[in-house]
Amino acid sequence: MPVLGINQQRGDGPHRYRIEITATDIPNFAPLQFSRDIAFELTPQDGERIRWYLEDYLQFDEDPAPQIAGGAEALMAACGDRLFRGLFEGAHQGIQLWTMIEPHLSATRVEITTDIAEATAIPWELIRNPHTGTFLALSSASFVRTQREGQITFAPAGQAEKVRILLVICRPHGGEDVPFRSVAGRLVTRLNDDARNAFDLDVLRPPTYEQLAKTLQLAKECGRPYHIVHFDGHGVYAEEERLPGAGTVLNNLMLRGDGPPGPRGYLAFEDPANQENSKFVDGFRLGTLLKASGVPVLVLNACQSAFAEAPPTPHAARPEAARAEIEA
């Protein structure tokens, strides 16, 4: 599979970045690598407009929302065009790389690598060819993000060994929740016979954090730690006092690990011991458990599981301000 790598690093000065671009495994071409220095700033106001378009617009689409949405679409297109030109135009190597990769884009894996602290500085998902309107994220075979900090290396399973996956399916609200097999069912039905023979899938029952810890510890002690834990349920990113159920005895509803104060991500495990049937476990505690249990990969199907803390947003960045601009 051809791979287009975009490695984002800090440049000289605020809002300046050094981008290393690589292209490998392109049919009939040798690997190519070069660097570009670009300047890019997404203001809090612009970031809020994009967030509103992606998260709120489909739920509140009455006038003047379509007009606001049109402005957001133009903003995203302009950002994507600027990123494309910064990488692939104005230099011979950039033009050469794009000429190489474009015919194979539908089979290409695009990898974005950043530091954790600056993962949201550049919206690479918006990058597009200004001449064709083609978005890389929608036209490539896969579009993924990786990070340089905190990566875990592990020895892959042997050729004769199956990949062991533990499915954690949490439905705290029972029949009023998302259907139990809405995600897990598709994981199984989309595997052909050969693929199914390469995987061992176990379902955690009951889906509590305590049972997860016991299961992972036992698997490691038996010399067969899980390769992947797949969590399918609910998540939230918030201050602890803003968690659902915070008005009750919060200590019984929350498990926190070490980490700095402030908002953080939580997953909602089932917990029949309390009325809400939920226990919120933060990412620091869950990460410590996975590392101690030898689990290298966590897959999340949960609300806000890809959330990243944005810079403080000024008053002008709120949707009400954008609406006021249109109405004025």
Q: Concatenate the DSSP letters of all residues of 278-317 into one string.
A: EEEEEHHHHHHHHHHTT--EEEEESTTTT--PPPPPPGGG
Query: 10 Å Cβ neighbour count for 30?
Result: 8
What is the structure's pLDDT at 307? 59
Tell me if residue 271 falls in helix, strand or coil: coil
Burial 157-186 (b: 16+ CB within 10 A, else e): eeeeeeebbbbbbbbbeeeeeeeeeebbee
Contacts of 235 (CB under 8 A, 6+ apart): 265, 266, 267, 268, 300, 302, 303, 304, 305
Quick: pLDDT tens for 207-264: 999 999 999 999 999 999 999 999 998 888 777 666 655 434 344 566 667 766 777 8
- Amino acid at residue number 266: Y
Ramachandran region of residue 75, left (φ > 0), alpha (ψ -120 to 50) or beta?
alpha
Mean pLDDT rounded to a whole number for the chain: 81
What is the structure's pLDDT at 54? 86
What is the structure's pLDDT at 70? 93
Q: Is the pLDDT of residue 191 over 70?
A: no
Tell me if residue 170 falls in helix, strand or coil: coil
Residue identified by tokens 């176990």 is 202
Quick: pLDDT tens for 164-184: 999 999 888 766 655 556 566
Two tokens at 107?
């089979």
pTM for the model: 0.64
Contacts of 96 (CB under 8 A, 6+ apart): 32
Q: Is the pLDDT of residue 20 over 90?
A: yes
**Taking residues 141-167, what's their average pLDDT?**
72
Helices (H), 10-64: 44-55
**Higher-scoring residue by pLDDT: 197, 252:** 197
Give which of 253, 250, 247, 248 is closest to 267, Cα–Cα.
Answer: 253
What is the structure's pLDDT at 115? 87
> Are 270 and 234 within 8 A, CB to CB?
no
What is the structure's pLDDT at 186? 64
What is the structure's pLDDT at 160? 45
What is the structure's pLDDT at 304? 58
Quick: pLDDT tens for 277-312: 888 898 889 999 999 999 999 998 877 555 555 544
What is the structure's pLDDT at 308? 57
